[in-house]
Amino acid sequence: MHAPQSRHNVMYLTVLPFYRQTCIQSLMDQAEQDKPEIYAGPRQLTATVTTGIASDLYRPLRAWFLLGRGIILRDHVWNAINAKSLMLDLNPRCVSAWLLLIIRKILRRRTVVWGHLYPRAGAGSRTARLRRSMRALADGTVLYGFDSVLPARQDLPNQEVWVAPNALYSSELLGPAETHTNKSSVIYVGRLVEEKKVDLLIRAFAEASPNMANVRLKIVGSGSELEPLKDLARNLGCASEIEFLGPITDPATLKAAYTDAICSVSPGYVGLSLTQSLGFGVPMLIADDEPHAPEVELERFGGVARFKENDPSSLASLLQKVASGQYEFPDAARLAEPVIKSYSAESMARGLLDSLRNRAQSLDSTGWPAA
């Protein structure tokens, strides 16, 4: 005889970082009386990505980390097995997700997986095939981007797909930073780690700075590369024109940091920072050939310019063109509009809730929200 099935929907996840706070709060608000039970582990394999949402929104899980190659989540396993509908990470390194997918498949209980359709290595990588196998065990997939819908349907034509667009802020907070301030800065927001290539931005800024009168570089974030980046700025003679502002987690304070920005820059791969920048009405400069996250699909709305990857001179040239007005972008309100419409925390929460409740989303033939 099967164990009784819970009447609750459950999210059983490896991590819920601080930037998921608004989304999860919105999900709980939209769920009203039928709120899901949410469980989260302490961190990803990458130790810098930790759970940081309010403690009253979830129940913590302990975890075993298997030599940096896998994660097993502990605690409340029976609640996950017996859930009416269960959401798991679409992450092949999460051993618990595999086990729960198999158990619930045998018990014929509904399970959805949430994550990136493909890893940064692309659709042909080994882990992409593992992700497809996880999806095949599940009853549906929740994706981070709309452009992922068509390839997801092509991979598994008979499986349901939802989009929870990878969002940071509520629609109320989104919108242009101020429009009456003189633009006099370039801004980077993100982790200060090697793979983000912030050193490339500093080299480009040092090269472009003599031709950009009174333009400063703001760097928001923290990480292991902070001191080496400060040393680099000093060695290049541009330290007095660069502000290291540290991490800023308060959305209103961060939005204020964008007020005088000509543009933002992602010197390595781009992800959530693109929705943040465009959502505040600030265009972004990104590298050509990098393993960008699904959020790069927002490029279609005109707020993005590209430079040659790993080439400080190419970025320096583009910075000078943008600062001098030679490169034109849509105005701030138009840049923010698609993010407000489709990439708000409310939209993300709605996608997650729809998937848990097996409620169809209104997507057009391209996978984007129907008009």
pTM, entire model: 0.89
Q: Using alpha carbons, select from 266, 286, 282, 297 the residue that is nearest to residue 332.
A: 282
Question: Per-residue pLDDT tens for 291-343?
Answer: 999 999 999 999 999 999 999 999 999 999 999 999 889 999 999 999 999 99
Question: Per-residue pLDDT tens for 210-248?
Answer: 999 899 999 999 999 999 999 999 999 999 999 999 999
Average pLDDT of 99-122? 94
Cβ neighbours of residue 257 under 8 Å, at least 6 residues apart?
187, 189, 218, 220, 245, 248
Q: What domains does the chain contain, in order, with CATH numbers?
A: 9-167+344-356 (3.40.50), 185-342 (3.40.50.2000)
Question: Per-residue pLDDT tens for 29-52?
Answer: 999 989 999 999 999 988 878 999
Residue 49, pLDDT score: 86
**Residue 278 main-chain phi, psi, to 5 deg:** -65, -35
- The percentage of residues in the chain with a pLDDT greater than 70, rounded to a whole number, is 97
Contact between residue 272 and residue 168 where contact means Cβ atoms under 8 Å apart: yes
Q: Does the pLDDT of residue 1 top 50, yes or no? A: no
Question: Per-residue pLDDT tens for 123-166?
Answer: 888 889 999 999 999 999 999 999 999 999 999 999 999 999 99
Q: Lowest mean pLDDT: which of 54-58, 145-149, 249-253?
A: 249-253
Q: Does the pLDDT of residue 2 top 60, yes or no? A: no
Q: Residue for token digits 């902070």?
A: 226
Give the distance between the most distant pair of CA atoms in the chain: 76
- The percentage of residues in the chain with a pLDDT greater than 90, rounded to a whole number, is 85
| Tokens describing residue 16 | 């819920």
